[in-house]
Amino acid sequence: MAATASAMEGDLTRQNASVLARSIAEGEVSAEEVTQAHLDRIAGVDERVHAFLHVRGDDAIEAARAIDRKRAAGVELGPLAGVPLALKDVLTMKGVPTTCGSRVLEGWRPPYDSTVVERLKAADVVILGKTNMDEFAMGSSTEHSAYGPTRNPWDLERIPGGSGGGSAAALASFEAPLAIGSDTGGSIRQPAAVTGTVGVKPTYGGVSRYGLVALASSLDQAGPCARTVLDTALLHAAIAGHDPRDSTSIDASVPDVVGAARRGDVRGLRVGLVKELSGEGYQAGVSQRFDEAVRILEGLGAEVVEVSCPHFEYALGAYYLILPSEASSNLAKFDGMRYGLRAGDDGRHSVEEVMALTREAGFGAEVKRRIMIGTYALSSGYYDAYYGQAQKVRTLITRDFNAAFEKADVLVSPTAPTTAFKIGDKVDDPIAMYLNDIATIPVNLAGNAAMSLPIGLAPEDGLPVGLQIMAPPMADDRLYLVGSALESALLDTWGHLLIEEVPAL
Amino acid sequence: MTAITRSDVEHLARLARLDLSEEELDHYAGQLDVILQSVARVSEVAADDIPPTSHPIPMENVFREDVARPGLDRDIVAAGAPAWEDDRFRVPRILDEE
């Protein structure tokens, strides 16, 4: 079993973060060697996968050497010291290019660290570089990146999910054992599902949004991604907690996610099946693997109950009004005046014309679509009918969750209705693309915590299927309790993690 | 709900400061209409007595201590500016010519 192995046995890039951290702490391997192994892997395979938009190279090696020096000097290091990480390009890191997958920010180097990056640095995690994403996190396939799509390591003709396809693909191609994503409607969980990796959207307010470039401020949440539940928990603990620089940050102690991941126990736990998140619209192999996973949980001692959330069918509509409304406002700042791209500044065009030319040249098709939908939904005469109504639906969905959590401790569903689809299949069909998020969106509207973890391959196409676990706000530890128990049971059945079955690149 | 016309899209693009091409105006007119029709179902369920939720975690008026803190370094900000002149952002003309 990989978890008990030493990192010295075999390829460093195949190891879990917890194993690497222990081997580095015990001096069996240096942080520099671990970082170099991952940079070599990126150099070898990323031309085909395209998970990264920027690789830090020498700077990452220098950061690793500094950690080795600290260790040699006897300075106490964090539980993930020296472990490499892939950072979604939506979070600022001082001096490191941050594009959000958009031309409008090409070449921009942020003047400050996001709180997530600050905490990663404090935890002695080595940041390898920035990962590809749908432009400003708008999308479910990473095809809407201005820098070209990321490919799914399970099949390079298929999408890795989105918007955080780069982070998920980096994990699944063994370019990094840890990654950071951001989840506004499923952008951590859906990529995790279609790449056979683990991803968690923490409770809204659980991880600081300071330095996270805003898509929809009332929905955005940064979170941890990895190949195992325990690694995800260790990263969660490193980045979570109150931050006075984010006024929506929750001022309370972080749930014990690492303890829960180590315990992994579902005995006596009530697991609710959400009736509305199954059946029609879900691929047969996805439903089959999901049903099997539920039976495993039952076998482990969980009490399975069915719950109904009747307003979830309106969640997609509410989301695609609230998100564009907030996005159209948040993206107004990209006007070419203070940073980023400026187009048409030839002495003839007025400032307003330059703004319009800049935004026309700097934004891609999906961003323009959503800005205009949001502008429409917020305009006078339509505000009540669209944005106002969507906010009421949000209340109804939260009430559905509250009622369901009276009957169950956690809720489960498939993470995504299908496995990874082919690149190009849905890129100009917005409605088909939006349906990918049908099971993940309700959580964002209500602010809950949720995880996706791999539960097998769909028999019809041999591609990974993810199971979503949903917990009430600030009960993030329950995700890890259930996820870890299920992961252990599957490990016993298969003899290895699902990700070990990914084809060699 | 009313359908979105090509001139509606033109108006929205102007409000949103997007200098769309003719082809884009044609393309988006159809797409925006489909999107809005498919999301319009939200009005079926939300009755008058349902309060709106603007934010998932109820909180209000989060203040910090009113103490001066250093801002961003001017040179770093200047380095990121598309145009910088005499220690200021240089912008295109703001007023129309006579």
Closest CA to A453 of A482, A410, A419: A482
Q: What is the pLDDT of residues A255-307, one digit of tens each?
A: 999 999 999 999 999 999 999 999 889 999 999 999 999 999 999 999 999 99
To test the contact with chain A by mutation, choose from B19, B60, B72 the residue with the greatest count of A C-beta atoms within 10 A, namely B19
**Whether residue A398 has pLDDT greater than 60:** yes
Residues whose CB is less than 8 angstroms from the CB of residue A76 and which lie 6 or more positions away in sequence, other chains included: none
∠ CA A431-A277-A216, nearest 5°, is 50
Contact between A293 and A467 under an 8 Å Cβ cutoff? The reply is yes
Q: How far is A300 from chain B (nearest CA, A)?
A: 33
Verify whether the Cβ–Cβ distance B56 to A351 is below 8 Å: no
Neighbours of B25 (CB within 10 A): 14
Chain B residue with Cα closest to A445: B56
Burial of residue A355 (number of CB atoms within 10 Å: 0-12, 13-18, 19+): buried
As a whole number of Å, the CA-based R_g of chain A is 21
**Whether residue B59 has pLDDT greater than 90:** no
Verify whether the Cβ–Cβ distance B46 to A392 is below 8 Å: yes
Q: What is the pLDDT of residues A354-392, one digit of tens each?
A: 999 999 999 999 999 999 999 999 998 888 889 999 999
Contact between A225 and A181 under an 8 Å Cβ cutoff? The reply is yes
Give the pLDDT of residue A430: 85
More confident site: A431 or A133: A133
Give the pLDDT of residue A424: 95
Pairing of strands A410-414, A270-274: parallel
The span from the first CA to the last CA of chain A, in angstroms, equals 23
Give the pLDDT of residue A353: 96
Q: Model confidence at B97, in pLDDT bands (50, 70, 90)?
A: low
**Whether residue B47 has pLDDT greater than 90:** no
Q: What is the DSSP letter of A12?
A: G
Contact between A413 and A452 under an 8 Å Cβ cutoff? The reply is no
Verify whether the Cβ–Cβ distance A248 to B1 is below 8 Å: no
Verify whether the Cβ–Cβ distance A394 to B52 is below 8 Å: yes
Q: How far is B94 from chain A (nearest CA, A)?
A: 5
Residue among B18, B20, B94 minimizing CB distance to A351? B94
A311 interface with B at CB cutoff 8 Å: yes
**Whether residue A138 has pLDDT greater than 90:** yes
Closest CA to A91 of A228, A185, A224, A205: A224
- The DSSP string of chain B is -PPPPHHHHHHHHHHTT----HHHHHHHHHHHHHHHHHHTTHHHH--TTSPP-S-SS----------------HHHHHHH-SSEETTEE-----SPP-
Q: How far is A365 from chain B (nearest CA, A)?
A: 9
Burial of residue A290 (number of CB atoms within 10 Å: 0-12, 13-18, 19+): buried
Q: Model confidence at A75, in pLDDT bands (50, 70, 90)?
A: very high
Pairing of strands B84-85, B88-89: antiparallel
- Entry pTM: 0.97
As a whole number of Å, the CA-based R_g of chain B is 23
Residues A91-120, buried b or exposed e (16+ Cβ, 10 A)? bbbbebbbbbbbbbbeebbbbbbbbbbbbb
Verify whether the Cβ–Cβ distance B18 to A394 is below 8 Å: no
Chain A segment 378-397 residues within 8 A of B by beta carbon are 379, 385-386, 388-396
Verify whether the Cβ–Cβ distance B44 to A314 is below 8 Å: yes
Residue A5: half-sphere exposure toward Cβ, Cα within 13 Å = 14
Verify whether the Cβ–Cβ distance A389 to B42 is below 8 Å: yes
Q: How far is CA A153 from the centre of its chain?
A: 17
Give the pLDDT of residue A185: 97
For chain A, what percent of residues have pLDDT higher than 70?
98
Structural domains of chain B sorted by starting position, each given as residue range(s) with its CATH number in brackets: 6-45 (1.10.20.60)
* Residues of chain B neighbouring A345 (CB-CB closer than 8 A): 82-83, 92
**Active site members of A:** 88, 163, 187
Chain A segment 117-176 residues within 8 A of B by beta carbon are none
Mean predicted confidence (pLDDT) in A472-481 = 98
Q: What is the pLDDT of residues A339-352, one digit of tens each?
A: 999 999 999 999 99
**Whether residue B61 has pLDDT greater than 90:** no
Q: How far is B88 from chain A (nearest CA, A)?
A: 10
